[in-house]
């Protein structure tokens, strides 16, 4: 990934796109205080440098029938690099797992999972997760509500 020096216009573009990736280039240029052609060039440069990884739609999980969000805290029997990579590869194949983080400390991984209901999540935990090779322990926690969900990173845009 090429190193990209960011100025205040780049930061404004990143901030605005992170908030609304569907706005038109004309609207984005207006918000960034520049005209459309240089705005588009800057976006392309930010994409090529790897600072913008992609675009996605923020789906309404509940409207799609996913009523449950849960976290699984996973301990592995072996933390050898090959075993860690094998577990991560297995996790990528499970659609209910939406995020996976390797941690330091007592727990090796935390998984954020979504399911239609508690029964579906329980089946996943007992039939897939605890049965997976090298999994030594699993503890779960059900999310009661979401108090904050800001995707991305805080972009410091100074006026």
Q: What is the pLDDT of residues 14-52, one digit of tens each?
A: 999 999 999 999 999 999 999 999 999 999 999 999 999
Average pLDDT, the chain: 95
| Phi, psi angle pair for 136, to nearest 5° | -100, -35
pLDDT score for 1: 45
Query: Residues of CATH 3.30.70.920 domain(s) within the chain?
Result: 68-142
- As a CATH number, domain 68-142 is 3.30.70.920
**CA-based nearest residue to 117, from 53, 74, 62:** 62
CATH code 1.10.10.10 region(s) in the chain: 8-48
Tokens of 142: 């059900």
Answer whether 122's CB lies under 8 Å from 111's CB: no
Secondary-structure class of domain 8-48 per CATH: mainly alpha
């Amino acid at each position: 990934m090429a190193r990209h020096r960011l100025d205040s216009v780049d930061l404004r573009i990143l901030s605005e796109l992170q908030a609304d990736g569907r706005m038109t280039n004309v609207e984005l240029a207006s918000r960034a205080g520049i005209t459309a052609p240089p705005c588009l060039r800057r976006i392309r440069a930010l994409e090529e440098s790897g600072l913008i990884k992609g675009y996605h739609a923020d789906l309404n999980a509940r409207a799609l029938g996913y009523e449950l969000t849960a976290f699984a805290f996973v301990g592995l029997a072996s933390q050898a690099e090959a075993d860690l990579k094998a577990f991560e590869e297995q996790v990528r194949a499970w659609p209910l797992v939406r995020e996976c983080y390797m941690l330091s400390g007592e727990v090796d991984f935390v998984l954020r999972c979504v399911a239609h209901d508690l029964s579906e999540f329980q089946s996943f935990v007992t039939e897939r997760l605890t049965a997976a090779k090298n999994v030594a322990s699993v503890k779960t926690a059900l999310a009661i509500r979401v108090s904050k969900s800001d995707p991305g990173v805080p972009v410091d845009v100074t006026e």
